[in-house]
A and B are shown apart, each in its own frame.
Chain A
Amino acid sequence: MFAHIFVYRLKTLLRDRSNLFWTAIYPIILAFFYALAFTNINTADSFEAFPVGVVDNAEYRSQAYFIEALESVSQEGDNKLFDVTLMTLEEATDSLNNNKIVGYILFDGGARVVVKSSGLKQTILKGFMDSYLQQSSAVMSILHDNPAAAGSLVLPDRGDYIRPAELAGGKTDVTVIMYYGLIAMAVMFGGFWGRREVEDIQADLSAQAARINLSPVHKLKAFVCSLCAALLIQIVSLLVLFLFLALVLGVDFGPNFGYVALTCVVGGVMGVTFGALLAALIKGSEGLRLAVMLTVSLLSSALAGMMFPTIKYIVVEAVPALSYINPANLVSDALFALYYYGPGPRFTLNLTLMLAFSAVFSLAVYIVMRRQKYASL
């Protein structure tokens, strides 16, 4: 009997194009879009020199040291900060207004910088000017103490003080969180299968269920056999998604593929049982159940960092309890823990919670479904 129900259920679900699309195909399409958008994001960090104007007046020309300093940051090379153009004041104002330059430097009874808005480039321009002024002041104070040193003044090159380091073994690719969030979303979408399972066994939700209820097969047995088919499909979808991300798109999951697969399996169970519970609890039209399922799935995935990684962290900071109640977050956090720390206490905690949730959901569904007679059909 198990084989009979299982095989036919498998056939039925695999031909359910709508659910198959949303749970198996849509996440892959989305992942593909993510990959397209992220191709450059980690290398886009490198700094590019930007255009700056300098007003060519008499006062400027008298600043020999400044001219030298400016040259050192406007020549091709690692130190290049600016693309400098000399111009008149009118030209400078014009260029700034027409966004041809980020800002211009004006010597008019002292040094001045004119910009249009506050931003990183403007800050860097200001920083350069500040640095120059401060260095000049330092030089002047040194010479003031020791005028004789004028000849032998050593002007150090820009020092190399910083070694870019990486914490925890070189993981700086933030985009992985968005992919993990995507897997979390696919896990939650598994609820669609759970919903279908309940709708096809609760006689007050569909005619097919009524027919099944009138057969000599024990209702719970029928349900569990069908559910196994749904679980199989969902788990396979998740594993395929995972492999697609890891092998085709090259998303970094760390070296622990086995544990990631385990997460997918447990996640599959959790998502499907969650959907089943929602469907069992929500009476009313099919449209309502669908809407609730969609909203809950997307909301929980978004909070798990699917759309913007920082949200995940903010949630943890603001409401730490929430991060352990949100099933989607358990998934993305488990994957993150594996990636960043390897299989350790954090991963185990998440996985255990996922198993606990699955158990709770399953139990709840069982309790709700034991009702065999209905108040109305």
Chain B
Amino acid sequence: MPVFKAYFTVIRKNVSTLIVYFVVFAVMATVFIKIMGGGGPEEFTSVRNDIVIRSADNTPLVEGLIDFLGQHANIVSLAEGDSLEDALFFGRVDDVLIIPEGFTESLMSGGGEVRLERSSSSLTGSAVNTDLLIGRYLDLARLYILNVPGISQEALVTRVARDLDNAVKVEIAADAAQFKAGDVSDTFRYMAYTIIAILIVGVTSIMLAFNKPEVSLRNRCAPVSPAKMNMQLFAGNLLFTLAVWALLGVLAYILSGQTGIGPNLLLLYLNTLVFSIAALSIAFLAGKFIKGFGAQSAVANVLSLGLSFISGIFVPQALLGETVLKIASFTPTYWYIKAVETITDLSVFSFENLKPVYTDMLIQLGFAAAFFILALAASKQKRQSADG
């Protein structure tokens, strides 16, 4: 099968570019997992914000509040001279709490005119957590202030502290998913970017080599029927896609620290396989229009990044605007990401639950079919205009 062999020779020539993308994927996944850090469900841990507190009102009540906050969040102290604004802006801390002078007094007198000032980082979006914590403490305090007139601050703090010892028991449901959902979800999301980029580079390299006018003419003169040749090319494409899928799958497994393969992981792999086929069809279609190696890297970059941005790979789907999501829904990447996010949350694999996942996968296959047909139509068009 000479064409088949030639296919992989061309791939080998371009292996360095392909390796670059693999490396980028590995680095991306590792870095983001380290920084964002998914949570594990082994036991329930509350989300703890990183808070910086600057207090101008040093009263027992405020101390009590700070104490309480310290139990449910990380109180961070910045080094002298470190900019508060920078830390907040870049998301190093989640909230900055400023307690102005006279706060306690205003609270104790029941008026409550003086309020705390909170600045939160828009990167992390968990300001509501801090608000609720503060509210909880101060609501309790006010309860006492209103119903035990003349209560001293010390007594207040003590009693509130005692009440705060009550806590609800939290259990993790027995059937909870057994893997680190966060890391896996992120890893499989970034994989889509890499898959598109690698497939475009690989497939278009082949097509550039085979579509050179001299080569193409030579092929047409060979005693192998064009159908057979196309089949071998197709087989080559398929094998290449499968190899990329398998390699990335293994990488993802290692990077997200999995141990053992559960149904979630299997579904994720299936989803990724389906997506790879869709990506192959995109690469195939793109290849019809790429004329040179300069264009190849431009298209590979722009397409992969573009699809990634609008479909929720770098910015999660939950944070994307509606219009963007609408546009993205015309690309297979959007449905891939949607499926990934659904799958990682699943713990009961009933047909009912899997229906949306299967639907997403079918939609991706639909895109694949559509792109393939478009590509075939485009090449027929080209051949006819070249011959005629």
Answer yes or no: A and B touching, Cβ < 8 Å.
yes
Within 8 A of B (CB), among A303-317: 305, 307-314, 316-317
Interface size class on chain B is 35 or more
Within 8 A of A (CB), among B140-172: 140, 142-144, 146-148, 159-160, 162-164, 166-172
Q: Say how far A105's CB is from chain B's closest CB, in angstroms.
A: 8
- Distance in angstroms between the alpha carbons of A309 and B90 in the assembled complex: 6
Does B98 count as interface, using CB distance less than 8 angstroms?
yes
Contact yes or no, A34 B309, CB < 8 A: yes
Contact yes or no, B319 A174, CB < 8 A: no
Contact with B along A92-109 (1 / 0, CB 8 A): 011011110000000000
Within 8 A of B (CB), among A141-166: 141-142, 145-146, 149, 153-156, 158-166
Q: Say how far B360's CB is from chain A's closest CB, in angstroms.
A: 15
Stretch with Cβ within 8 A of A (4 or more), from B206-214, B223-231, B260-268, B343-351: B343-351
**Chain A neighbourhood of B176, CB < 8 A:** 116-117
Does B123 count as interface, using CB distance less than 8 angstroms?
yes
Contact yes or no, A40 B319, CB < 8 A: yes
- Distance in angstroms between the alpha carbons of A40 and B318 in the assembled complex: 9
> Which residue in chain B gives the minimum CB-CB distance to A106?
B171
Given contacts A30-B305, A99-B345, A159-B139, contact A313 B91 (CB under 8 A): yes
> Which residue in chain B gives the minimum CB-CB distance to A43?
B321
Contact yes or no, B173 A116, CB < 8 A: yes
Stretch with Cβ within 8 A of B (4 or more), from A122-130, A183-191, A245-253, A369-377: A122-130
Q: Which of A137, A138, A156, A174 contacts B89 (CB 8 A)?
A: A174
Contact yes or no, A93 B86, CB < 8 A: no
Given contacts A40-B319, A308-B35, contact A159 B166 (CB under 8 A): no
Contact yes or no, A114 B92, CB < 8 A: no
Given contacts A36-B310, A97-B348, contact A173 B39 (CB under 8 A): no
**Chain A neighbourhood of B39, CB < 8 A:** 117-119
Stretch with Cβ within 8 A of A (4 or more), from B1-9, B40-48, B272-280, B361-369: B40-48
Contact yes or no, A312 B90, CB < 8 A: yes
Does B175 count as interface, using CB distance less than 8 angstroms?
yes
Q: Which of B129, B164, B315 contacts A134 (CB 8 A)?
A: B164
**Chain A neighbourhood of B353, CB < 8 A:** 98-99
- Distance in angstroms between the alpha carbons of A314 and B323 in the assembled complex: 33
- Distance in angstroms between the alpha carbons of A41 and B314 in the assembled complex: 12
Q: Which of A124, A146, A174 contacts B91 (CB 8 A)?
A: A174
Contact yes or no, B143 A130, CB < 8 A: no
Q: Which of A42, A44, A118, A127 contacts B133 (CB 8 A)?
A: A127
Given contacts A134-B164, A158-B139, A313-B86, contact A112 B147 (CB under 8 A): no
Q: A159-B139, A308-B35 are in contact. List 15 more A-B contacts (CB 8 A).
A: A111-B169, A114-B170, A114-B173, A116-B347, A117-B39, A118-B46, A120-B128, A131-B132, A135-B139, A137-B162, A158-B135, A162-B118, A174-B90, A310-B90, A311-B31
